[in-house]
């Protein structure tokens, strides 16, 4: 029963990735909007950033690419006094039931298998005052990682920037007021 549930969840996640990837031909990073526009966007001009379980090697450059795309929408980062807080939360879904307990970022030399998983980044925005959630989105990518492979940041940066631009295209721009 548990294996059937795991396979069902895996298939649903894989389909969501394929749908997201189809909307971003060539980028191979899917994105989807999960919540849009219940906020008072004209009153927001600054944001702060928080992250939850975001791997260290991803944190700096992912946030930098997000900031570039968000600043293009007219927003300014101010971690001390911001109107909204942007939260990045990372998780991964193993596509192989036998690999459920393997962390793709902590590879022991004794584990010599190709890993198959979906990396998912949930991005939510909430008002600093009151905590009302005002926007949400998700980016995701299917991974097949051979033993010894590592993240290629230079190739990933442009893809992340374009994905964040696509995802934030539904966020009301301060320049369109």
Segment 32-91, tens digit of pLDDT: 999 998 888 999 999 999 988 888 877 888 899 999 999 999 999 999 999 999 999 988
Assess whether pLDDT exceeds 50 at residue 26.
no
Assess whether pLDDT exceeds 50 at residue 17.
no
Say what the pTM is.
0.74
Assess whether pLDDT exceeds 90 at residue 142.
no
Position with higher pLDDT, 21 vs 117: 117
Assess whether pLDDT exceeds 50 at residue 9.
no
Assess whether pLDDT exceeds 60 at residue 164.
yes
CATH level 2 (architecture), domain 2-176:
2-Layer Sandwich (3.30)
Q: Where is 165: in which H helix or E strand?
A: helix 153-168
Q: Tell me what pLDDT residue 102 has.
A: 62
Assess whether pLDDT exceeds 90 at residue 96.
no
- Cα–Cα dist 3/5, whole Å: 5
Query: 103-120 burial by CB neighbour count: b if 16+ within 10 A, else e?
Result: eeeebeeeeeeebbbbbb
- Contacts from 75-80 at CB under 8 Å and sequence distance 24+? 75/44, 75/45, 75/46, 75/47, 75/174, 76/45, 76/46, 76/47, 77/46, 77/47, 77/48, 77/49, 78/46, 78/47, 78/48, 79/48, 79/49, 80/48
Place of tokens 């905590």: 131
pLDDT in tens, 98-137: 766 666 556 545 567 777 778 899 999 999 999 999 999 9
């Amino acid at each position: 029963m548990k294996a059937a549930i795991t396979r069902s969840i895996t298939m649903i996640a894989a389909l969501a990735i394929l749908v997201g990837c189809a909307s971003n031909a060539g980028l191979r990073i899917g994105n989807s909007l999960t919540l849009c526009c219940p906020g008072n966007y004209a009153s927001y001009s600054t944001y702060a950033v928080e992250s939850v379980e975001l791997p260290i090697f991803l944190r700096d450059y992912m946030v930098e690419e997000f900031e570039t795309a968000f600043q293009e929408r007219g927003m300014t980062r101010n971690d001390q006094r911001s109107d909204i807080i942007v939260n990045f939360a990372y998780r991964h879904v193993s596509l192989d039931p036998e690999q459920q307990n393997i962390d793709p970022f902590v590879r022991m030399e004794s584990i010599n298998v190709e890993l198959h998983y979906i990396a998912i980044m949930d991005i939510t925005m909430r008002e600093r005052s009151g905590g009302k959630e005002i926007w949400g989105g998700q980016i995701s990518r299917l991974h097949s990682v051979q033993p010894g492979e590592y993240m290629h940041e230079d190739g990933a940066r442009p893809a992340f920037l374009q994905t964040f631009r696509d995802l934030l295209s539904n966020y009301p721009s301060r320049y369109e007021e």
